[in-house]
Every structure is written in C-alpha cells, then in structure tokens.
C-alpha cells in the first residue's frame, strides 16, 4: 500500500473512482465526481493535500482539500481547511484504508502549518478521527446556526480560543446541479436509484440528532441536497463524502 500525491496521469482514474464510490449512495446518481473534476483548477484547491491510496498498482482511494475560513465578530480572519470528497473503492471499504488515508492527510496538513479542519458530515464517521461538534468550539455558519453535521478538528491543541467564529467555505463547493448533470451525461450511462439501506441509515441519524439538541442552542438539520461539497446529511450537502473508511 502506498499513499502519495495525485499526479496528472491519475485524474481520470480518481474521477472514475469517485463516481463509483458515490453513485446512488445518497441520491440517484451523484455529483461528487464533478466536484473532483472542477476542484483542481480552483484557487482554493490545495494540490499539496491531494492524495491517492494505491494498492498493488491500483488507485483505490483519494482525498482532496480546499481552503476555508473562520471570521470572528470583529472581522478577524483565520484560514483553515475542509476536505472532501474522500473516496474508497466499494470493493475495499470497511477495511481501514479510509482511516489510513485520512490520518496521513492530517499529518501532512499539520506539516504545512494548518491547525483547524471543518467539515460537514455524519458524526458517526468522524468522531473516531478526532472531530467534535462545531458547538463545542463556538463555530457556526454565517447565519449563526450550529448544524448537527458541522464538525471541527484541531490539528494543534487549543488552536481555537473561546471566541465566536463564523465559517466561510470555498465557492468551489457551490456549483450548480445542472452543470454536474451535464458533465455526468458525457460519461458511461449508469442506472440511477437510491440504496434503501443507506436511506434508512440516514433517516436513523437524523432521528438521533433531532433528539440530542443541547440546551439554548439551535441545531439545524436539513435533508440532503445535491449541489456539492465532504456525506452532507446537513446544510452544505455531504462533504463528509467519505466512501468509506
């Protein structure tokens, strides 16, 4: 097994892997492969944190990072990270490869000087990776809400102080579903449906989170939307986009 930087020759394989990992998982079809397709050319993309996991000469995993920002009430700005999509070939999921890929990316991100990562995803997938509720770190969306699926990880202890922070993500995550649909139409046609087991799993998580709202705080829960950014069961689509550790 080898984890290395993505190279230009890997691009087609990575996009195909991403499509395979996400197709029909959360909605009929998927858009994650289109996000991968456009992300590399965006100014917020971080090529130093674009990794593939190779096994016996085959790429079976990928993780990509973009810049994001936190602002406090006085307008002070802090550059941070977000990641997604994270993709593991379905034939190799639940074997620990996703964990290895994510943990390796954390080490490299810290080496570059980054100290905070904010993602949107299913908490069950990320608590074991050191992520905690955004509420714990006083990090909210621009509208002041604390989404249940908005998670924060400090790569350096106490990187965030007790002040209130507002999250601002990269514009690359806001592409139109129509653009993604047109791109997908240029690829091999696959039958679209949604996995009933996954749908039931998502509904179970929503039910759990609705019954765990902390006192005095607003937790927003929205149904999945297909536009972009990493399993966004919550406001920003599924940048949880992990398929799968």
CA pair distance 71, 78, nearest whole angstrom: 6
Q: What's 151's domain CATH number? A: 3.40.630.30
Cα angle 196, 202, 207 (rounded to 5 degrees) comes to 125
Residue 222 vs residue 50, higher pLDDT: 50
Q: Strand 132-133 vs strand 150-154: parallel, antiparallel, or unpaired?
A: antiparallel
Report the largest interatomic distance among the alpha carbons of the chain, rounded to a whole angstrom: 52
- DSSP conformational letter for 120: E
Mean pLDDT of all residues in 152-177:
94
Query: What per-residue confidence (pLDDT) applies to 203?
Result: 54
Name the CA dihedral angle for 49, 153, 166, 73, rounded to a multiple of 10 degrees: -110
Q: How many domains does the chain have?
A: 1
pTM: 0.81
Query: What per-residue confidence (pLDDT) applies to 26?
Result: 83
The candidate with the shortest Cα–Cα distance to 202, out of 131, 86, 121, is 121
Mean pLDDT of all residues in 92-108:
96
How many CA atoms lie within 13 Å of 98's alpha carbon, on the beta-carbon side? 23
Mean pLDDT of all residues in 63-69:
98
For residue 206, how many other CB atoms are within 10 A of its CB? 18
Residue 230 vs residue 176, higher pLDDT: 176
For residue 239, what pLDDT band results from cuts at 50, 70 and 90? very low
pLDDT digits (tens, 9 = 90+) for 187-226: 999 999 866 545 555 555 554 444 444 444 444 433 333 3
Report whether the peptide linkage leading into residue 219 is cis, meaning its omega lies within 30 degrees of zero. no
CA pair distance 217, 194, nearest whole angstrom: 33
pLDDT digits (tens, 9 = 90+) for 116-151: 999 998 898 899 999 999 999 999 999 999 999 999
> What range does the domain containing 7 cover?
2-243
For residue 71, what pLDDT band results from cuts at 50, 70 and 90? very high
């Amino acid at each position: 097994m080898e984890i290395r930087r993505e190279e230009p020759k890997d691009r087609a394989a990575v996009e195909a892997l991403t499509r395979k990992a996400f197709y029909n998982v959360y909605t009929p079809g998927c858009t994650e492969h289109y996000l991968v397709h456009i992300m590399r050319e965006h100014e917020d993309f971080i090529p130093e944190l674009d990794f593939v996991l190779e096994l016996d000469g085959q790429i079976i995993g990928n993780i990509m990072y973009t810049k994001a920002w936190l602002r406090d009430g006085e307008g002070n700005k802090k550059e941070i990270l977000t990641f997604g999509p994270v993709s593991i070939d379905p034939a190799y999921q639940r074997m620990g490869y996703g964990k290895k890929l994510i943990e390796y990316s954390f080490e490299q991100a810290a080496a570059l000087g980054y100290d905070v990562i904010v993602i949107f995803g299913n908490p069950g997938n990320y608590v074991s990776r050191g992520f905690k509720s955004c509420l714990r770190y006083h990090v909210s969306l621009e509208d002041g809400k604390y989404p249940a699926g908005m998670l924060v990880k400090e790569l350096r202890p106490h990187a965030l102080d007790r002040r209130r922070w507002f999250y601002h993500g990269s514009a690359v995550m806001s592409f139109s579903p129509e653009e993604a649909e047109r791109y997908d139409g240029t690829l091999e046609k696959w039958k679209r449906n949604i996995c009933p087991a996954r749908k039931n799993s998502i509904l179970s998580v929503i039910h759990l989170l609705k019954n765990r709202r902390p006192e005095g705080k607003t937790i927003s829960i929205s149904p999945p939307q297909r536009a972009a950014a990493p399993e966004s069961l919550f406001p920003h689509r599924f940048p949880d986009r992990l398929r799968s550790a």
